[in-house]
Structure 1
Amino acid sequence: MGGIITGTGSAMPRQIIKNDYFSKNIFYTKEGTKNPKKGTEVIKKLEEISGIKERRFIGEEEQSVDILFDASKKALENSGIDKNELDAIIVAHNSGNMLPNKDGVFHTVPNLAAVLKNELKITNYQCIAYDILFGCPGWLQGVIQANRLIACGEAKHVLVAGLEVASRLLDPHNLDSLLMADGCGATIISASDSRNIGILAYASFSHTENDLHNITMGSSLNKEIPGDCYFKMDGKKVYKYATTWLPQVIKKAMDKVSINPKDVDYFFFHQANGKMLKVIASNLMKLYDIDDENYASKIPMSIEFLGNTSVATIPTLFDLVNKNKMEGFELAKNQTYVFASVGAGMHCNAVVYRS
């Protein structure tokens, strides 16, 4: 017995933030000195490297739970199951519930899965509700946990949500932080007796060595700005880790079911950097000695208009494709997908799925 996806939902904030929103920012170097280049010039370079043209932020009067509830309700409706049939709720996030009208103030007690269960008015006390912190790969790790609950007979239906509200933690003087955005994606994973569909294999790596502080929270690059809860990233080291290890964790998952990239219909990759996605795909093909294969048609990309929504990226992207909102990509029966993500820790993971 394994898990299949029976419902998807996503919630994207109404506020669209284009790159020129940051053009007047004064950027600083990692050493804490002012970047001599104009904000417009720096932003243009960011767009060239990342592929990001716009992203979404929640409003000042909103809180994280608002989009978490919206996405989860849509996923339940899409699945057609009753909310009290859920046996578990797993919410992956990085920063708890960002409170309205309070910049950077968030709560983690009660945990977000419990808050979501309350908001959904679920009265089934045997439905366990818990959170996981696993960086950007958190939602996918939640899917793996849901599958394990199903496989051991502990659950028939599990709601797994990935939530990110990064806008309240951005350092306006740090170019790397402007990659981040807000959003939420949710998925219902249900039990299936078939061994030929659903989650076929998975793999996860946690290095947490010299890479531990590649992505972290800390003070602003502008030392005159108070506070130590700003998003910080060493872009070059993250790029190296992702392009090295994500192909390997994908290969480990695919090798478990004896498939290679040519057998995969779509790759649902974490959307952190447009160029990085191409290198990850190229490095994966090299592991299988595949040359000159064009995988652009196999990799849906939302980073251009949604930015990097961290934990929410893959479930949001999958929902958009599932709802026929990504031109050129259409889900059908008997397709093979690979979900893969990488992020703070450093962690990375992959899931092989058959529709």
Structure 2
Amino acid sequence: MKSSITQGVKILATGSAVPDLCISNELISNMVDTSDEWIFNRTGIKERRISSSPTSLIDMATAASMNALNKTHINAIDLDLIILATSTPNDLFGSASQLQAKIGASKAIAFDITAACSGFVIAMVTATQFIQNGSYSNVLVVGADVLSKWTNWSDRRTCILFGDGAGAAILQSCSVLENNILGFHLNTNGQKFDQLNIQCEYSNHDKNFFSKGLKGSFKYITMHGKEVYKFAVSKVPQSIQACLGSLNLSSENIDWLLLHQANERILYAVASRLMIPSEKVISNLAKYGNTSAASIPLALNEALEDNKIQNGDLIVMSGFGAGLTWGTLIIKWYR
């Protein structure tokens, strides 16, 4: 599906949060057969942040949300809607309601979106639709994941990649002249879901008539790295070009390319296919690794705090990952 967004949505502020514990490549090399050089050359990652708290998802989401709210003129009680993009909830029924309670947004409806590394982009598009159709005026979108809890730390193919984090954005209805969100393009290919997933498994348990003694649980992250790489460098440029085309724009109009922070090779391969100079690629991958739904808002917030992004800049965001899902969001930044 593709569409053009022509009016009415402004990004008031962004925020982010990461755990204090920093795990370097050197430390991982003491756990599995690898090295700092091997990891960095293949991924661009030097370190990642890991949480040890059972409430880390909500703690980080709360901190990122308050970081964003404190930059605005509105309070949590003014929020109409909260969308939490996460694939690692601390409650299988969803965690957005816990975030709503923690920040005191008692008037807001809250729900989760599960779309892994595409989650933040899809949540932003969803929030935009609610604002554009007049349903809500103030929306908090949060991308947060604690992938460390689903990582097999003895598997060197995956344990080097993932970290924990959260990022937030506050959206508000506005006039056409202030509009930030220009367009989007979303896709899914469910036939390749098994390229990147956390599978559910069933084991024998105390028998009862209804479940026949089966108890559900989840395995660790599994990923077919080469297939995911080919998928990303093929589909993401197509999505970006389609979205730009729907707005009568080209890659030459892009000031900043902000991709899901999965692997440095993917970031620059996508940029190369679009003929975008490497200096226009926003990346904080070296510090945080792959933080799934948190990666794009975390990088966006840091770029804004570092004053990289200037008034009038065109930002192209693309998320891609499990599902398989991928999507693009084009933003015109106005301070």
TM-score of the superposed pair, with normalisation by structure 2: 0.89
The CA deviation string for residues 44-74 of structure 1, in whole angstroms up to 9 with x for no partner, is 3222110101000012465211111100111
Superposed, 1:316-355 pairs within 5 Å as 316-324=298-306, 330-355=308-333
Specify which of 98, 113, 117 is matched with residue 115 of structure 1.
98
Specify which of 280, 284, 289 is matched with residue 274 of structure 2.
284
Q: For residue 195 of structure 1, report the CA deviation from its aligned partner.
A: 5.2
Is the Cα contact below 8 Å between 1:135 and 1:343 reproduced in 2? yes
| Residue equivalent to 1:145 | 126
Counterparts of 1:148 and 1:189, CA distance in 2: 11
Q: For residue 197 of structure 1, report the CA deviation from its aligned partner.
A: 3.3
Structure 1 stretches lacking a partner, 5+ long: 27-38, 98-106, 220-226, 286-292
Are the structure 2 counterparts of residues 148 and 228 from structure 1 closer, same or farther at C-alpha, using a change threshold of 3 Å?
closer
Is the Cα contact below 8 Å between 2:39 and 2:46 reproduced in 1? no
| Residue equivalent to 1:19 | 25
- Identical-pair percentage: 28
| Residue equivalent to 1:174 | 155
| Residue equivalent to 1:45 | 38
Superposed, 1:92-131 pairs within 5 Å as 92-97=85-90, 107-109=91-93, 111-124=94-107, 127-131=108-112
The CA deviation string for residues 321-345 of structure 1, in whole angstroms up to 9 with x for no partner, is 1111xxxx62221111111110100
Is the Cα contact below 8 Å between 1:8 and 1:79 reproduced in 2? no
- Structure 1 segments of 4 or more deviating over 3 A? none
Are the structure 2 counterparts of residues 269 and 173 from structure 1 closer, same or farther at C-alpha, using a change threshold of 3 Å?
same
Structure 2 stretches lacking a partner, 5+ long: 1-6, 201-216
SS state of the match for residue 301, structure 2? helix
The CA deviation string for residues 294-331 of structure 1, in whole angstroms up to 9 with x for no partner, is x111111100111110100000000001111xxxx622
Is the Cα contact below 8 Å between 1:196 and 1:354 reproduced in 2? no
Q: For residue 173 of structure 1, report the CA deviation from its aligned partner.
A: 2.4
| Residue equivalent to 2:225 | 235
SS state of the match for residue 157, structure 2? helix
Number of residue pairs matched by the alignment:
311
Counterparts of 1:207 and 1:340, CA distance in 2: 16
| Residue equivalent to 2:214 | none
Superposed, 1:181-200 pairs within 5 Å as 181-194=163-176, 197-200=179-182
Counterparts of 1:202 and 1:86, CA distance in 2: 24
Q: For residue 176 of structure 1, report the CA deviation from its aligned partner.
A: 2.8
Q: For residue 228 of structure 1, report the CA deviation from its aligned partner.
A: 4.8
Counterparts of 2:236 and 2:68, CA distance in 1: 28
Counterparts of 1:313 and 1:91, CA distance in 2: 14
| Residue equivalent to 2:247 | 257
Is the Cα contact below 8 Å between 2:8 and 2:178 reproduced in 1? no
| Residue equivalent to 2:204 | none
The CA deviation string for residues 65-90 of structure 1, in whole angstroms up to 9 with x for no partner, is 11111001111111221212211000
The CA deviation string for residues 86-110 of structure 1, in whole angstroms up to 9 with x for no partner, is 110000001102xxxxxxxxx233x
Counterparts of 2:24 and 2:261, CA distance in 1: 17
Counterparts of 1:218 and 1:340, CA distance in 2: 25
**What residue identity is the alignment partner of 1:303?**
L
| Residue 215, structure 1, aligned to residue 193, structure 2 | no
**What residue identity is the alignment partner of 1:49?**
R
The CA deviation string for residues 207-259 of structure 1, in whole angstroms up to 9 with x for no partner, is 111x210101249xxxxxxx852111100000000000000111111111111
TM-score of the superposed pair, with normalisation by structure 1: 0.84
Q: For residue 24 of structure 1, report the CA deviation from its aligned partner.
A: 2.9
Counterparts of 1:163 and 1:138, CA distance in 2: 9
Counterparts of 2:55 and 2:329, CA distance in 1: 33
Is the Cα contact below 8 Å between 1:87 and 1:156 reproduced in 2? yes
**What residue identity is the alignment partner of 1:116?**
L
Are the structure 2 counterparts of residues 175 and 257 from structure 1 closer, same or farther at C-alpha, using a change threshold of 3 Å?
same
**What residue identity is the alignment partner of 1:13?**
P
What's the RMSD between the two structures over aligned residues? 1.8
| Residue equivalent to 1:201 | 183
Is the Cα contact below 8 Å between 1:18 and 1:55 reproduced in 2? yes
Counterparts of 2:85 and 2:248, CA distance in 1: 30
